[in-house]
A and B are shown apart, each in its own frame.
Chain A
Amino acid sequence: MNFPWLLIVLLTPLIGTVLLFIPKRFVAFSDQQIALYSSLITLLFVIVIALQFDISSSATTQFDVSFDWIPVFGITFHLGLTGISLVLVGLTAVLTPIVLLATEYEVQKKNKEFLMWILLTQASALAVFLARDLFLFYVVFEAMLIPIFFLVGRFGGPKRGAAALKFILFGLAGGLVMLAALIWLYFVAVNQLGRGTFSITALSNELKLDAWTERWLFLGFFFAFALKAPMIPGHTWLPDTAEQATPGTSTMLIGILDKVGTYGMLAILLPIFPNASIEFAPVIIGFAALGIIYGALVAIAQKNIKRTFAYISISHFGFIVMGIFSFTSIGMIGSVIYMVAHGLSTAGLFLTAGYLIRQKDNSLISNFGGVTKAAPVMTGLFLIAGLSSIALPGMAGFVAEFMVLTGTFQKYKIPAIIATLAIVLAAIYMLWLYQRVFTGTETKESSNIIDLNKKQILALSPLVALTLLFGFYPAPIIKISESTIAHTMTLVGATDPQPMIRKVVNQ
């Protein structure tokens, strides 16, 4: 085994968590510093790994680390890196320090606890993206509910208890159905391969399922992922949770952890259940298109800033799902970029608006107006995040949305056309929100708002930089995820459609 880089990456936030609880006599750093440094060290390790990642390699996973965990059931603690997981691990590693820096104000009293849960959220996100054993994936998929549950319940708004309960029940409901499917899949593997295994690679390469088993298993897993992502009609927990949670929590949850749903579709559903994926794709694309439009329309109607963001996310998750089930390389790569772009813009929206909301302890849109006068920098940062979110050219969001729509259009014309309408709706929800909150006459509430200080600007500037970078130059993400997507396409047996216009050779 080579140097266990992935294990180190995973352990860093956990070590940080432990260090938080060492008496201060033995540690020279404050809690805030410990958490921040551990997340920065994680980022450093991820960069080192990314530089060593071989994009031309034909291997399914790289940097594998594997131990026996529960050998009776063939369960291993297997971490491995595919192109897609590298992208999402990178997103996690980038967003966590930003959240830690930007939310320094959020909790003063229970600071240690807040930092602990954030670091544990990060660790579980890293573990879930790195897991190459389906059982390990499931375990983390469920376990990661706990840190967010406490983050929402301990640090949220007045109705945080109910929101946290709703959040964890939706998560558990999905997870339990997935558990039943997981055990069933295990027995199929035992009967067919003669050994129990949960290895994602082995299951996707070796297993031949009969049609009905595959359909049922697909639905079991899809149910969990669709609740997590979330797709309508299983989305109702997200607005409630986002409304009550602090901006930092929302960023970790919607920016990173909800991607587990779409990641699961891409990295687990498609490779292991290829036939069922193709069969169900039209229905799923239909639901995705519905979600895109529904999320956008409801976002327009919201009175609360945080709920607006939640519905925007529901609309955007529709795009991601649509790209995945388009079964075109461009659509699927578009989805991967979309996950990154959405993570960046969500962080930008929640964190900038968070500064605003926190000052007034109120997240109603009608409460604000003309904020730009008092807080121009905040306004600017919000606008950039918002414009990337609605896919303005030059921003990461545009590249992603364009690729997804192009990919989908190649195979599903009508859903793609319907989804395009959302671009218009997006302009309404985002610009109208911007107009009402930041421009216009200054309300009494908005007059004494304090603009961002240098530290806060520093915390948010990487978001802006990355949004613009991937807007103009998305090549890194494309290069990294290309071979994994190609591999997935082969497993599914899908091919990109031929161009409609042939090159004219003669005449």
Chain B
Amino acid sequence: MIQTVLNTIPTPSFEYALLSPILVMFLAACLGVLVEAFLPHEKRRFAHLIIVFTAILFAFFAVVLQSGPNGRALVANGTVALDGPGWILQGTILLVAALSALLFAESKIDPLGDAFAARASTLPGGEEEKIATKLGWAQTEIWPLFSFAISGMLLFVTANDLLVLFVALEVMSLPLYLLAGLARRRRLLSQEAALKYFILGALASAILLFGSALTYAYTGSLEFGQISNGISSANNSPGLLTAAIALVAVGMLFKVGAVPFHQWVPDVYTGSPTPVTSFMAGAVKVAAFGGLLRVFYVAFGALVWDWRPLIWVVAGLTMVVGSVIALAQSDFKRMLAYSSVSNGGFILVGFSATSRPAIAAVLIYLIAYAFATVGAFALLTLIREQAGESSTLIRWKGLGKKSPLVAGLMSLFMLSFAGIPLTSGFTAKFGVFTAAISGGATALVLVGVIASAIAAVFYIRVIILMFFSEPIPEGPFVVVPSIFTTIAITASAVVTIILGLFPQVVIDLISSASVFLR
């Protein structure tokens, strides 16, 4: 009896080699937990750095070596799809995360140590906090949390099953909620950000889960390919399906920070420690859009005519609202937060075209944006005052005089955000606009054009402040970072320029790999 039951359940097949990037990061996270448990304080940081960077390196090579045509398959019983976009997204996430990891590791900029609270459990501003800081303690748990988040992201962008998608989402999000609350400076803001992020994020996750359940109810499956088949063949009431798609869409659009689900973005981006913000705006954004692409292209691809108008509206709103509100910001971090929202809108413009070039365009936009934004946040960590980072824009007056290099690089990233030719931002915008026009969304492109013009104002204003104004007395000073941050900034700048001057290299790579498996 038992024997027959066992025979009907298929033995789970598990392609360890192909899944190795995800597994390696997961293993690194577990190892990190052990380090926390067994190593003394002073040895932990070094051990974590070795583990995390080795893991990222290994995972990246695993991606590069296996991403060829032979490595494209549905694995783990069809719940994970390792296809062209999946590999590209995994590679991008690992590279961008590596840059953020470098910022996490930086401990030379702030005289007190790295960007994280000495003891997260101490009362902000309290006596214990002072003692913990004085003793030079460090919250080294950030490293296993970081690794868990990456493994979640790697799974999220390749998940081919709504349940796996949800699990990946949680593995990726939970560590982020914690990381958001760990800032060394302005701790109350940071804790508030963490709480907001957690509550809103949990709500969005619940909505996504509910949507998944309804999808299952309608199609009888959680696997994307089967959902797609189920939608075409099932003849249940369409109301159920509409609700299902709407709920899944809300859950996913929350993660990408699209209007009207963007409210968490400015507070969380501003409150989090800047390395974590760079991680959210870079890697998390890539992961969120990667998941969105797959769910809507593969699972709900048959219904593109139904959801596309919705995405058009969301994209238009996201671009315009993000850009307009960013105009009014006086804080650099908050401005970049709204800029991240508005850039999400441009990605949605490309996304709405649902074609092969559209996938490539979205991927290129993600790469261009992720690197530029990590670079901009990395530069922000260098511009400091006694009390920490100086993110009030007006105080940046004349920064170009104090440090032409930092101000010059910042201008490069701002010009890239503004979409000036010869930077990656232009290549990206050209790609999504091209995709959208070929998809018939000319009107949306015109909205995008207007939004770009609005957005240019606040990006260029930063350059004007830095270069065309006289410095204010007692303004911020620029710190010379260690090798970690230097590498992160250099890499971001190089990608921004290369993608602007010779985009063909990346376009070739991505165009050859922009087909989803189902």
Contact = CB atoms under 8 A, between A and B. Distances in A.
Interface of A: 68-73, 138-140, 142-143, 145-146, 149-150, 153-154, 160-161, 164-165, 168-169, 172-173, 176-177, 179-180, 183-184, 186-187
Contacts of A149: 460
Given A153-B464, A161-B464, A70 B449 contact: no
Contacts of B430: 179, 183
A165 B461 contact: yes
B445 A183 contact: yes
A271 B461 CA distance: 38
Contact of A153 (B421, B442, B449, B468): B468
B425 to A, nearest CB: 11
Contact of A138 (B421, B433, B442, B507): B421
B415 interface: yes
A71 B504 contact: yes
- Among B419, B426, B456, the one with the most A-chain Cβ atoms within 10 Å of its Cβ is B456
Contacts of A143: 420-422
7 contacts: A70-B507, A139-B426, A146-B415, A154-B467, A172-B418, A176-B452, A180-B442
Contact of B456 (A68, A72, A168): A168
B421 A169 contact: no
Given A142-B421, A183-B430, 9 more contacts: A69-B504, A72-B507, A139-B426, A142-B420, A145-B420, A168-B460, A169-B457, A179-B429, A187-B438
Contacts of B429: 179
A200 B44 CA distance: 62
B503 interface: yes
A164 B464 contact: yes
Nearest to B511: A72
Contacts of B131: none
A462 B93 CA distance: 59
A180 B449 CA distance: 7
A155 to B, nearest CB: 10
A187 B467 contact: no
Interface in B120-163: none
B218 to A, nearest CB: 37
B469 interface: yes
Interface string B428-472: 011001100110001001100100110011001101100111000
A267 B442 CA distance: 26
A57 to B, nearest CB: 32
Nearest to B446: A180
B433 A179 contact: yes
**Residue from B437, B463, B469 with most neighbouring chain A CB atoms (10 Å):** B463
A430 B419 CA distance: 41
Contacts of A71: 504
Q: Among A72, A140, A142, A184, which residue has the most Cβ atoms of chain B within 10 A? A: A72
Given A143-B420, A153-B468, A154-B467, A169 B456 contact: yes
Closest 9 CB pairs of A and B: A139-B421, A153-B468, A161-B468, A176-B449, A142-B421, A161-B464, A173-B453, A143-B421, A172-B456
A381 B456 CA distance: 41
Contacts of B507: 70, 72
A73 B435 CA distance: 12
Given A72-B511, A139-B421, A184-B437, A165 B460 contact: yes
A72 B420 contact: no
Contacts of B433: 179-180, 183
A165 B464 contact: yes
A143 B464 CA distance: 17
A186 B457 contact: no
Contacts of A140: 421
A167 to B, nearest CB: 10
Nearest to A69: B504
A139 B501 CA distance: 10
Nearest to B435: A183
A140 to B, nearest CB: 8
Interface in B407-422: 415, 418-422
Contact of B420 (A73, A146, A187): A146
Contacts of A160: 468
A154 B468 CA distance: 5
A172 B453 contact: yes
A139 B507 CA distance: 18
B442 A184 contact: yes
Contacts of A73: 434
